[in-house]
Chains A and B, each alone.
Chain A
Amino acid sequence: MKRQDEVIDSAIDMGLADESETRGGGGERRAGLQGVMGIWSRIPDSLRGTVPVIVAIIALGTYTASQTPLFLTQTNLRNILQQSSVLGLIAVGMTALMIAGLMDLSVGTMASFISVVGALMAKHGSSAFVIVVAAVLIGLGASSVWGLIVGYVKVHPFILTLGGMSIFLSLGLALSKGQPVPVEGMFVSLDIGKWLGVPVSSVLFLVAAVVMALFLKFTRVGRNTFAMGSNPQAAFLAGVPQIRLPVYLFAISGVLVGLAAIVMIGRLGAGDPTAGSSLGLQAIAAVVIGGSSLYGGTGTVFGTMLGVLLLGLIQNSLNILGIQIFYQDLVYGSVLIVAIVSTSLREQGRLRLPRLRHRAK
């Protein structure tokens, strides 16, 4: 439990958690006796949902480490971080969308499509810089279209982006003729390259997460995101822009999808039209596991990072424990179901995580 507190503390230091909220309940803290519960009371409501995730991460990590010495090696831990980056970048954008009560199912196939485009551009001799700019612009443009349609026509983004998901899958397959498009060396630096010992792709994920957390906390658009997700009708009447806001949020998500596509090319050494197909649903899963409400209004980037980490850890553990890859989705699915059921129960107040009660003596 001590470690959880440290995690929260470091989250605050990183600007990922809300300091005043975290300390808000701390004024009544008492030393000693109520140690564990005291820590619990210091965790703000918005982060309490992440505690079970942290417990799960620690438990799974401990178990896997006890089973094989391969787990706690620098290479393997770095590997987990690397594997998580693509999903992480996409999930960070998804977090803002979901806090606003929106979502984008098309991000996975969109990333695949962009990776194919990028790989083809590389094949025709475009420079890395041009390809990165193009990837970001395609993501931004395509997602902004979703934002405009959601803003103007008020369609539910679920069905809209479900349609988009098929479109990008098909476009990617058509462009690549169904085969991965190999790329020579160029982007591999993103994956293998290190900055202060950490893979560049992971640095990218971390920077995106920090920037998003700051964005949600310190900007007008960020606060409006919470307002819209918390109560759309009240937000409308309170003057929150109805078209601009979804466009901004989808656009930000699109930029991150473009970056994720570049990282994908680096990881796979190719533009693969199907590699990202399940990323959209996985990103939503990560956000929900991280404690965001499916209905908008609440959520933290920190929680999403933990969700991404848990999913990455599951994948890695299954791999190095030698469990057949066919079971991977079964575990993913089960974790998601547990997460959503417990979140819903908590929201309905049926499953109360313990709260510290300060009784007068």
Chain B
Amino acid sequence: MTESIAFQARGVRKQFPGVLALKDVDLTVRSGEVMGLVGENGAGKSTLIKVMVGALTPDAGSLEVGGRVTTVPDPSSAARLGISVIHQERQVAPHVSVAENVFLGRLAPGRGPLRWSDIYERARRRLEAIGLDVDPRTPMKSLTVAEQQEVEIARALTEDANLVIMDEPTAALSQNETEALFKVIARLKERNTAVLYVSHHLEEVFRVADRVTVMRDGQVVGVYETKSLTVDSLTGLMFDRDVSSLERSVRSSARAHRGEVILKAQGLSVGTSLRGLDMEAHRGEIVCITGGIGSGRRELARCLVGAIRPDSGEVLVQVNGRAKRVHSPRSALMAGIGFIPADRKREGVFLDLDLVDNVHVSKSSLSKNPLIFPAVRSREVSSFVQDLSIRTASLRTPTKQLSGGNQQKVLMARLLCINASILLLDEPTAGVDVNTKVEIYQILKRLAGEGKAVIVLSSDLTEVKLLADRVLVLRRGTVAGELEGDAISEERILKLASAD
């Protein structure tokens, strides 16, 4: 192993509105080394990667690639510098051949007609280099997910590849496929390529990484030889033990009295994402559901609100002593389930429409009355806007002009407006500033205190620990374990989420 430095970031700083996402971050990856990058959600890992590949411009700091100081103004210049990313979602063209995917976007360097025999030959060599035995003529879509990912790695391995970043690469892989990926990584090391391995799965990091960079709150906590660490010492480094005063104020609010079961999911199965999952939620409690990517969290949320129909199993809600089955978002709303999706902009708010339309949409959709007068709607909406202290110029302001935190509150107002008895929130504080975060926590606590069932899906373990009366940890489509009260801790959750 040579000691030459493939990639170096120095003093990288990135400010987002209300959040300092990266504070003077240093990162060094040597050639032929696998560097692990760990940290809880919001620690700044993805921001750092975005800076490295030119998707974000840093406010300060410098990047060095192959020993030369450089800037990465956009993703295409990152590719030119030999930096490539393997994302957790596949970035492939499924309908064309493997060879075309290997050379996606740069099929032929010169002019003139394509020489297919040459392209196939070069693709074959690339695939051999990482030990993937696939005919380059095969259509991409006939490959397994893991093979497709290896084709992506082959794409990354240009002659001048300096650094391959793998962002949660095993999220969609089975155990065997993960083993195959590790073999590919070993080959990359032999070729003296630098690898940055980003993962929530600590045992994977221990398997492949030579060194680990730990991030917390936008800062690098430290760089450690993997050999010198244990899972426990690493989790200790990842999480800040110090509970801030704001968090204490949330925690000190009284635990609500747990009431009767109001929502019940039985034997939910969806493809390979959910495998016969059972769960229930009581009135007056906050249930947090957590688990890594690929644990089935997203699919569970979709099933609970009827946005996807499970292959088997059902979701039942107690309404006035009768069990109602959920089969569509509309029926879920009528049964009293209010949902706030994780992707606020894509699935939550109507950016072009004003606050009144955004808050009132569910109520008016469920209303029997065909006429709704703007004055009535405004009046109904304004009390919730005040109640949740949504900061806006007026009720007529288009939602796109509000901050992320206020947009999130608009969605909460929508649920309060229909007086939902079950609130289901997917990543409720993603992209929300710290103050609003605490406000949202306090609102959720209050709502649970009023006898509503609050279900929070979250990958933010600090948040889970702060909010949850009960935690369900998902792994591979089932509930891997349940923690309650004082038994809830980040270490236990992580162990349940990753144990095999």
> Interface of A with B (CB < 8 Å)?
20-21, 24, 45, 217-221, 223-224, 226-227, 230-231, 233-242, 297-298
Contact = CB atoms under 8 A, between A and B. Distances in A.
Nearest to A296: B352
Nearest to B339: A237
A241 B348 CA distance: 16
Contacts of B396: 20-21, 24
Given A217-B374, A240-B361, A242-B330, 17 more contacts: A219-B372, A220-B371, A223-B357, A223-B364, A226-B352, A226-B353, A226-B357, A227-B350, A230-B352, A234-B346, A237-B305, A237-B329, A239-B329, A239-B332, A239-B361, A297-B352, A297-B353
A298 to B, nearest CB: 6
24 contacts: A20-B396, A218-B373, A219-B371, A220-B364, A220-B367, A223-B372, A224-B365, A227-B350, A227-B361, A230-B352, A231-B350, A231-B351, A233-B346, A234-B348, A235-B361, A236-B307, A237-B305, A238-B361, A239-B329, A239-B361, A239-B366, A241-B330, A241-B365, A298-B352
Interface of B: 305, 307, 328-330, 332-334, 339, 341, 346-353, 357, 360-362, 364-367, 369-374, 394, 396, 398, 414
Contacts of A234: 341, 346-350
Contacts of A226: 350, 352-353, 357
Contact of A238 (B329, B346, B372): B329
A45 B349 CA distance: 19
Nearest to B399: A230
B370 A221 contact: yes
Contacts of B361: 223-224, 227, 235, 238-240
A101 B396 CA distance: 22
Nearest to B333: A239
Nearest to A236: B329
A347 to B, nearest CB: 10
B239 to A, nearest CB: 33
Nearest to B307: A237
Contacts of A45: 398
A224 B365 CA distance: 7
Given A230-B352, A237-B307, A218 B371 contact: yes
Contacts of B352: 226, 230, 297-298
A224 B362 CA distance: 9
Contact of B374 (A20, A24, A220, A237): A20
Contacts of B360: 223
A239 B362 contact: yes
Contacts of B414: 238
Question: Which of A24, A220, A237 has its CB near the most chain B CB atoms (within 10 A)?
Answer: A237
Contacts of A237: 305, 307, 329, 339, 341, 347-348
A120 B398 CA distance: 51
Nearest to A221: B370
* Most chain A beta-carbon contacts within 10 A, residue among B307, B351, B396: B396
Contacts of A218: 371-374
B255 to A, nearest CB: 30
B394 A24 contact: yes
A240 B360 CA distance: 11
A230 B328 CA distance: 20
B361 to A, nearest CB: 5
Of all A-B residue pairs in the complex, the 5 with the closest CB atoms, nearest first, are: A230-B350, A239-B333, A239-B365, A239-B330, A297-B352
Nearest to B377: A223
B323 to A, nearest CB: 20
B8 to A, nearest CB: 37
A221 B365 CA distance: 8
A267 B346 CA distance: 47
B22 to A, nearest CB: 28
A241 B332 CA distance: 13
B357 A227 contact: yes
A180 B130 CA distance: 72
A231 B372 CA distance: 21
Contact of A219 (B346, B353, B370): B370
Nearest to A245: B365
B366 to A, nearest CB: 6
Given A20-B396, A238-B361, A241-B330, A230 B339 contact: no
Contacts of B307: 236-237
A226 to B, nearest CB: 6
Taking each of A45, A218, A224, A238, which has the highest tally of chain B beta carbons within 10 Å of its own beta carbon? A238
